[in-house]
Chains A and B, each alone.
Chain A
Amino acid sequence: MRPLSNIFSKEVRELLTPATVLPIVVLAILFGSLGGIMGDVGGEASKPPIIGIIQQDDSELANYTAMILDSESDVVYKSTDIANIDEGLKAVSSAGGTALLVIPQGFGDDIQSNRSGTIRVYWIMKGTGMLDTISSASLDGLLGVTDKMLSMYILENEDMRASVNVTTALNPTIKNETTTFKGQTLEGISPSSISATLSSQNMVVPLIVLMVIIMSGSTVIASMGLEKENKTLETLLTMPVKRSHIVIGKLGGAAVVGLLMAFIYMLGMSSYLNSLQGSAGLNLSDYGIGLETLDFVLVGLSLFLAVVAGLGLCLVIGVFARDYKSAQSLTMPITFLAMIPMFVLMMKDFATLPGAVQAGLFAIPFTHPMMAMNNLMFGDYTLVVAGIVYEAIFASAMMAVAVILFKKDILVTGRKKKREGKEVRTWPRRR
């Protein structure tokens, strides 16, 4: 058994290295965090929606409708005066609520006159992430239930059954929706339709950023690994060229190759996603939501700076690559850094995340181009500009660190490990 255990322990030692274990740990943490967010949303979905009600109509049907809504939701504001809409929206919004419902004057009369009664829904949209519309979907469901219960109430009431025709009795209410989001009022659309329209963008933009970062990042790290593996780095470092030019040259080359590869990849991916999304979305430009030329410049700048920042980080990491194989494992941290904001922002809007998560995401330069387009569409320039400033600082710092490292011995001698007080050089082994 000794030779077997010898081979077994050697294999375990070789395979169980920080480079193999760390990615799994990070992945576990990532999924754990996502699970936490999903759990919170699940909890939110099971809670009654927080709403406000303005009931102008005092008819039997209006009272019954208000009673159902009251019993199945958490009503934080009640009024009978339509002039109090702004006050009601404020109260619901500050309570973290979903919508203010208005049962207008003539609601009951309309139904009894064979016209569906209108419930005006003033949605308070929190974010564009998939999970941000859970609460509005929950209220949407409640409005559907209310419609059915009102229908049964009419059908069970002999007097009403006699006066209301079947079509109206089966569908006694209709919704008139208005959504407020980031200070803008959008009439005739609900948060879920906005979210569905933006979902393609919410998927594609982070994917583009992710692909650009991974493609160009792995190119630059691999380039460093190959320089060391092919023993060309020392020659390059003795050429009459400034260290900063080597850094910029490597970053520039990797950026072009990465952008090209990501562009080709995304051509296929966007075609695939568009075929899935179909024509489900709205044309948001009809509602005054769109991007101006300046917005596109800001999105482009944000993406460019994220790529430069990412490549700077990759070059710094690449300094520690011993060869091509080790370079490949070093791309994992970059991949995770890009995946974290992608997953989180797909699910939740930045604005609806807890402060600590917001701070963490803001610190990742790749987050900013992922959310820039959405923020600019709704006129939120502050976060985008702050992100661009941060990315510029991060990119400059990374490039400065890369240039400094290119001037240091570590690039030639490799990193040192301290073991029991003795220094062990990991690359290269000879002096």
Chain B
Amino acid sequence: MAVKYHGAGVQLKAVMVKDLTKSFGTFQAVKGVTFSVEEGEVFGLIGPNGAGKTTTMRMLSTLLQVTSGTATIFGKDLVTETDEIRKIISYLPEEAGAYKNLTGRRYLEFIARFFGNGEDVEKMVDYGISLSNLADRIDDKVETYSKGMTRRLLVSRALMFKPRLAILDELTSGLDVISAQHVRRTVRDTTKDGTTIIVSSHNMLEVELICDRLALIADGRVVEMGSPAELKDKYDADNIEEVFVKAVSP
């Protein structure tokens, strides 16, 4: 795993999150999350529904305002440098959709134009099409796509411009086994280009397959963090699911 150094030997993490909280009125969804992600790493956030994974990801994606705590993405402050952060990140929500009256190609072009012009757009779109594996169907309207095809289009949208950080919420949500495997492979391959990935999932098998490290989140807090092997070792567990149960059990 590549670790970059910035300035006089100061290590530059891809993501640094410290005591991050998020409240909605009196309800506190995230209660002081702290973690860091190395560049080129696939970092997993796992936990049950309502644990605070999506809220954390939405804060890192600049969608939600931070209540307290700090976070930097490639050295840029999440609160004060949101415009800069949006240029280098990509966020894929769990329930994302695409504009139904556009073709897959036009949708990719629409997104690519936010990140470049002319030839750059063409290159991004070509790369996106290859990632999506949609072949001729790329010129069909999105409304004719199956759920799996739409998700593949959205994953390729999120990765086609080679963001420095991709935040992928429930990466393979609703996908069949074949499509899920294709998407996981695509994501894993993207890290070879230096893209850092934060991914959330309910699927513990998936987490083990693609994550270099992961954080277990429960009730708005990180309860455990480490590589899948380290965690299984620590909890004397056969798989991450077992780790999770043991980690959150009182």
Contact = CB atoms under 8 A, between A and B. Distances in A.
Interface in A231-247: 231-232, 234-235, 237-242
Contacts of B61: 234, 238
Interface in A413-431: 413, 416, 423, 425, 428, 430-431
Interface in B165-183: none
B55 A232 contact: no
Contact of A423 (B24, B63, B111): B24
Given A231-B96, A232-B97, A240-B115, A416 B87 contact: no
Interface stretch (B46-54, B120-128, B129-137, B230-238): B46-54
A240 B98 contact: no
A240 B49 CA distance: 30
B58 interface: yes
Nearest to B98: A232
A293 interface: no
A423 B26 CA distance: 8
Given A238-B90, A408-B65, A409-B65, A230 B97 contact: yes
Contacts of A238: 61-63, 86, 89-91
A412 interface: yes
A430 B49 contact: yes
B111 A239 contact: yes
| B contact residues, range | 35 or more
Contact of B64 (A231, A240, A412): A412
B198 interface: no
Among A230, A238, A413, A428: residue with most chain B CB under 10 A: A238
Nearest to B53: A431
Contact of B25 (A235, A408, A416): A416
A74 B24 CA distance: 69
B114 A235 contact: no
B98 A230 contact: yes
A382 B99 CA distance: 47
Interface in A204-248: 230-232, 234-235, 237-242
B24 A235 contact: no
Contacts of A428: 95
Contacts of B90: 238
Interface in A11-28: none
A240 B54 contact: no
Given A237-B62, A240-B86, A241-B114, 19 more contacts: A230-B99, A231-B95, A231-B96, A232-B97, A234-B58, A234-B93, A235-B96, A235-B154, A238-B61, A238-B63, A238-B86, A240-B87, A240-B114, A240-B115, A409-B64, A416-B24, A431-B29, A431-B52, A431-B54
The 7 tightest CB contacts between A and B, nearest first, are A231-B97, A240-B86, A230-B97, A240-B87, A238-B91, A239-B114, A234-B93
Contacts of A408: 65
B198 to A, nearest CB: 13
Given A238-B90, A430-B54, A412 B63 contact: yes
B50 A431 contact: yes
Interface string B4-29: 00000000000000000000111101
Contacts of A239: 86, 111, 114
B193 interface: no
A408 B63 CA distance: 8
9 contacts: A230-B100, A238-B62, A238-B86, A240-B83, A409-B65, A416-B24, A423-B25, A423-B27, A431-B52
A241 B157 CA distance: 16
Contact of A232 (B52, B58, B87, B99): B99
Nearest to B90: A238
Contacts of A234: 58, 61, 63, 91, 93, 96
Contacts of A425: 24
Nearest to B30: A431
A416 B50 CA distance: 18
Interface string B43-86: 00000011010110010011111000000000000000001001
A413 B64 contact: yes
Interface string A175-200: 00000000000000000000000000
A178 to B, nearest CB: 61
Contacts of B65: 408-409
A425 B49 CA distance: 16
A76 to B, nearest CB: 65
A238 B99 CA distance: 16
A238 B61 CA distance: 6
Contacts of B27: 423
A161 B93 CA distance: 97
Interface string B145-179: 00000000010010000000000000000000000
Interface in A106-138: none
B98 A412 contact: no
Contacts of B97: 230-232
Contacts of A413: 24, 64
B86 to A, nearest CB: 4
Nearest to B51: A431
Nearest to B89: A238
A421 to B, nearest CB: 9
A325 to B, nearest CB: 16
A33 to B, nearest CB: 39
Among B55, B63, B64: residue with most chain A CB under 10 A: B63
Contacts of A423: 24-27
B61 to A, nearest CB: 5
Contacts of A240: 83, 86-87, 114-115
A235 B97 CA distance: 9
A237 B96 CA distance: 12
Contacts of A242: 83
A403 to B, nearest CB: 14
Nearest to B67: A409
A416 B26 CA distance: 12
B65 to A, nearest CB: 6
Contacts of A231: 93, 95-97
Contacts of B93: 231, 234-235
